Amino acid sequence: MVPSKPRRSAPKSAPGKASPRRRPRPVVEADESAEVRGRRMSWRTGMFLLVIAIVLFAFLSPLNSALKQAQQIAALNNEIETTKSEVKSLEQKNENLKDPDYIKRKARADQYYVEKGKNAVIVTNQEAVDEDSKSDEPVRKQAWYLELLESIQEVGNTVEKN
């Protein structure tokens, strides 16, 4: 006996005979299957998202370093501007030091130099000078809020008398 090949399909019915009845498929609601199908992601969509993620990751690192470099450049430009302004002020100071009148003024103000024939007066007790300037102000007998309270009471008394 020779072994036969296994059948790959169901036996065909003889011509003219009716085909066997198949069971009908169970009815499934279309809404649920469409909802499930909508939630499921195809492999193409997954691969597309994976490629986009890889590309974004590849570009984010250089972009981050470019932003850092731009910030460093801006900080260095600000530093250059401040250095230029310092150089200008130092050049102005250098020009002033070439002026003899400026040197005389600075010597009198900073080093207390006096020209020949003039007398220098240096005040040593600055507190005494400050106290004299305060003496011009009226001195209160009591606190301001007590004076205010007394004045309100006086006004009230005059109104009651009238």
pLDDT of residue 134: 58
**pLDDT tens string 5-25:** 665 655 555 566 666 677 777
Report DSSP state, residue 19.
P
Average pLDDT, the chain: 79
**pLDDT tens string 59-115:** 888 888 999 999 999 999 999 999 999 999 999 999 999 999 999 899 888 888 888
The position carrying tokens 């932003």 is 67
Q: Is residue 131 within 8 Å of 125, Cβ to Cβ? A: no
Q: Which residue type sits at 112?
A: Y
The predicted model scores a pTM of: 0.38
**Residues 6 or more apart from 113 whose CB is under 8 A from it?**
104, 107
